[in-house]
Amino acid sequence: MDNIINISQEDHSRPSTPEKEPPNKKVKVARKKRSWTWEYFEEVDTEERTSEKGEPLKRCKVLDANGNKCGTYYVNDGSTGNAINHLLNDHEITNEGKKKNVGIFL
Ligand SMILES: [Zn+2]
């Protein structure tokens, strides 16, 4: 009898090799991931303007309906909370882009 069914030959006899570690070892991330808010903000040259404490600033570059740049300054301290709030509250922009369903003019 020749037709021995070759039951999927799972190789249990193989010695457990230690090389099967998951590949997601900690890799040094060289580049900073920039927040999505940077789509709407620009860094302000410290030569041009800084905060009262001399901190670098970022400026909102969202255009309003008239094409005027918003120009609100925030301290560029690496946190994005204030920028996110500003975009959301003043421009109705979220990390998914401009909110749909804008346009309720009552
Ligand atoms: Zn703005």
Domain residue extents for the chain: 36-95
Instruction: Kindly give, in sequence order, each residue whose CB lies less than 8 Å from that of residue 86, ignoring residues fewer than 6 positions away.
Output: 60, 72, 74
**Is pLDDT of 85 > 90?**
yes
pLDDT of residue 97: 79
Distance (Å, whole) CA 93 – CA 100: 9
Ligand 1 center to residue 70 CA distance, Å? 4
| Residue with the larger pLDDT of the pair 33 and 41 | 41
Cα 11 to ligand 1 centre (Å): 61
DSSP one-letter string for 59-78: EE--B-TTS-B---EEE-SS
- Give the DSSP H/E element, type plus range, for residue 84: helix 81-91
Q: Give me ligand 1 centre to Cα 30, in Å.
A: 30
Structure confidence by residue, pLDDT tens digits, 6-33: 666 666 666 666 666 666 666 666 666 7
Cα–ligand 1 centroid distance for 96 (angstroms): 16
